[in-house]
Structure 1
Amino acid sequence: MDDCIFCKIIRGEIPSTTIYEDDEVKAFLDLSQATPGHTLLVPKKHVADIFAYDEDLASRVFTRLPKIARAIKASNPDIKAMNIINNNGELAYQSVFHSHIHLIPRYSANDDFSIHFGDHSDQYDSAKLEAIAAGIRQQLED
Structure 2
Amino acid sequence: MTDDCQFCRVVRDDETAHVLYEDDGTVAFLDRNPAVEGHTLVVPKRHREELLVGDDSTGVWETVQRVSTAIEAVLDPAGFSTVHTSGKLVGSVDHAHVHLLPRYEDDPVHIALERRTLRADTAERIASAVEAEL
TM-score normalized by structure 1? 0.86
Q: Distance in 1 between matches of 2:53 and 2:125?
A: 26
Residue segments in structure 1 that go unaligned for 5+ positions in a row: none
Q: Are 1:47 and 1:53, in contact at CA under 8 Å, matched by a contact in 2?
A: no
| Alignment match of 1:127 (pick from 104, 115, 121) | 121
**Shift in CA distance, 51/106, structure 1 to aligned 2, threshold 3 Å:** closer
More helix by share: 1
Match of 2:63 in 1: 64
In structure 2, give the amino acid aligned to 1:139: E
- Equivalent pairs: percent with the same residue? 34
1:89 aligned onto 2:83: no
Find out whether 1:4 has 2:5 as its counterpart: yes
Q: Which moved more, 1:63-72 or 1:4-13?
A: 63-72
Partner SS state of residue 84, structure 1: strand
Kindly provide the CA deviation profile for residues 93-113 of structure 1, in whole angstroms up to 9, marking residues without a partner as x. Answer: 3321111011001001x2111
Number of residue equivalences: 133
Structure 1: which 4+ aligned runs deviate by more than 3 Å? Answer: none
Letter in structure 1 aligned against 2:15:
I
Q: Specify the alignment match of 2:100 in structure 1.
A: 103
1:41 matches 2:42: yes
Measured after TM superposition, the shift of residue 52 of structure 1 is 4.9
Query: In 1, are the aligned partners of 2:49 and 2:96 still within 8 Å (CA)?
Result: yes
TM-score, with length taken from structure 2: 0.91
* Structure 1 position 90, deviation (Å): 3.2
Query: What is the alpha-carbon root mean square deviation over aligned residues?
Result: 1.5
